[in-house]
Amino acid sequence: MNDTSSLLVRLARRLLSTAVLSTALAPAYAQTKADAEAAIPLDRYVLSASRTPQDARYTPSAVTVVSMVDLRTAQVTSLATALSMQPGVVVAMTGAPGGQASVLMRGANSDQTLFLVDGVRMNDRSAAYLNFLGGADIEGIDRLEVLRGPQSTLYGSSAMGGVIRIDTERGSGAAHGSLAATAGSFGTFGGTAAVKGAADGLRYSASFGRFVTDNDLANNDLRRWTGATRLEYVASPVLLVGGTFRAVSIDREEPGSRVFPSIGTTQSGNTLGTVFAEAHVADEFTSRLTLALHRRQYTWRSGSYYAPQSNRREIVDWQNTWSPIQPVEIVAGVNAENSRFIVEGRSDEDRLSAGYVSATVRPTSSVTVTGGVRYDDFKSVGGATTGRVGLAWLPRAGTKLHATYGTGFNAPGTSDRYGVPSWGQIANPNLVPEKSRGWDAGIEQELGPVTVDVTFFHNRFRNLFEWEYVNYVTWEGMTVNRARATTQGVEVATQVRLCKAAKLRANYTYLDAQDDSSGARLTRRPRHTADAELQVRVSQPCTVGAGLHAVGDNINGTMPFAGYTTARAFVSYAVRENLLLKLRVENALDREFEEVYGYPALPRAAYGTVEWRF
């Protein structure tokens, strides 16, 4: 039995004994985690900032809770699109849906942003998630949070720019569901089915989707299957058990870029399964154990060339929350991962062990102070210690001042350490983790129907990974630790309730990102980005809206990139109470633009949907 398996068994036994003890000690205690979350209005609590439900008014961190209701009203179906609409976030995609998508948060590299799905770290130290993100949708998601700034103290490696938290939908109420069919431009067809509900202590949800499109270019077809399920059962007044399962399978033809065209295909698959148990030992103590299995496959084919990659991760996360006195909450836990990966027939493994503790204290009703420390130990690259502090102050009703300081790190990727010979990448086993430190400070102000949040941020990175050629004849090279960089700027976000039937959301980000060695701007980091959306309920059955997305000038490598502005529009009409007709137009102004050099985005496109709810 390996170390991870032994640890898993020990933690499972510990949680089981805790559950038995809690049943004896607290038979009258019936508050589950869902009850705790319900105590805070749904549009006001956050989970990612402290790993527990927390009222957003008292959260020092810069975090956006994305309204899934608004996304579905606006008929946003792509996860990449949903993220690009948030402050401080830039998404760069290689052309049409299904391409590689990089998330750059506050100027950090794409592998320096952590994806957290159902409480599990998804980054597996490979670049394969870029291919998954470009084709992912928002089906089966009921919570999406964007947490900005260094967060390695809570979540470990990759959380330098921030964290994107995704939770699978929970069931509630009587059984209900929906069926939807979509058709539109470029031979696009899709369908979804979902059902959820709760009865006799069991909460359940399941959703499935199919999406196909030819896209705009030749040899650029996309075929995708998705599925997500969650089951939760209140086993006793003090014990909640459950599990989740998410899967996505993508087949895509690869046309290459307009500069370097190619003919190839990619097949990628992601599956994540979790089981968890949460014991409420007493009013002041909760213990949660999560076991997870994550599998990822990615294969590129072009003629006789065949490049398969695969990764299997076994994860255990044990989190304990303790409130010894009313204004104090302490979160402490351990995390262990065992990774096995195969790149072009060569296999290896890595192990991670980590421990963390974080405390939130409210010395007065208007002041919240947070602090924490974490230690991660990778078998391959050694250990890293990170820390974090934060302060939120409410000097008067409707006003919040917030500030945080933290450190982060990012372990080297699989291809960086072990190489990919067919790509001309040489192994570099001497790589050390990237490191960062950063702060942010801002003010959130409510002015009647208007809410405005202004946040300044500053980050410094060192030991950054950089490509270095070692043979210009064969174009072979390796990743080395060399670069340093600084990113700083300001994020402005506002929400306006214009009237009972109309609301406006808008944000703007200024970003100054440069290489400290050369003084040059970092690639694909526009100085100016903005996003706005208006939704209006014209009548009880009809909702209309429009959105604008603007990206300023930037560079891609050494190539200057012109800025662009795109528009989208949407309308939905309820023919009956349970039958909706929807229409949306993407790139309504038919702009020609590229997010990545050589990969043109789709021109104007229209899509219609019929949705039946039952």
Asked if residue 260 lies in contact with residue 598, where contact means CB atoms within 8 angstroms, the answer is: yes
Token pair 């939704």 in the structure block, residue: 535
Mean pLDDT of 283-293: 96
Interval 24-82: pLDDT, tens = 333 333 344 444 444 455 557 899 999 999 999 999 999 999 999 999 999 999 999 99
What's the mean per-residue pLDDT of the chain? 89
More confident of the two residues 160 and 23: 160
Give the three-class secondary structure for 532: strand
Cα separation, 329 vs 285, in Å, equals 10
Task: Give me the phi and psi of 218, to 5 degrees please.
Answer: -70, 150
The predicted model scores a pTM of 0.90
Interval 460-487: pLDDT, tens = 999 999 888 888 777 888 889 988 999 9
Q: Residue 65: which of 154, 144, 141, 167 has the closest Cα?
A: 144
pLDDT at residue 559 tops 50: yes
Interval 74-90: pLDDT, tens = 999 999 999 999 999 99
Percent of the chain with pLDDT over 70: 91
Cα separation, 253 vs 72, in Å, equals 28
Cα separation, 555 vs 575, in Å, equals 47
Interval 338-361: pLDDT, tens = 999 887 777 888 899 999 999 999
Percent of the chain with pLDDT over 90: 69
DSSP characters over 6-37: HHHHHHHHHHHHHHHHHHHH-TT----HHHHH
Cα separation, 494 vs 444, in Å, equals 9
Interval 111-155: pLDDT, tens = 899 999 999 998 865 554 555 566 688 999 999 999 999 999 999
Instruction: Write down the H helix ranges in 74-151.
Output: 79-84, 129-135
More confident of the two residues 539 and 422: 539
Q: All domains of the chain, ordered by start, with CATH?
A: 3-613 (2.40.170.20)
* Cβ atoms < 10 Å from Cβ of 602: 17
Residue 106 pLDDT level (bands cut at 50, 70, 90): very high
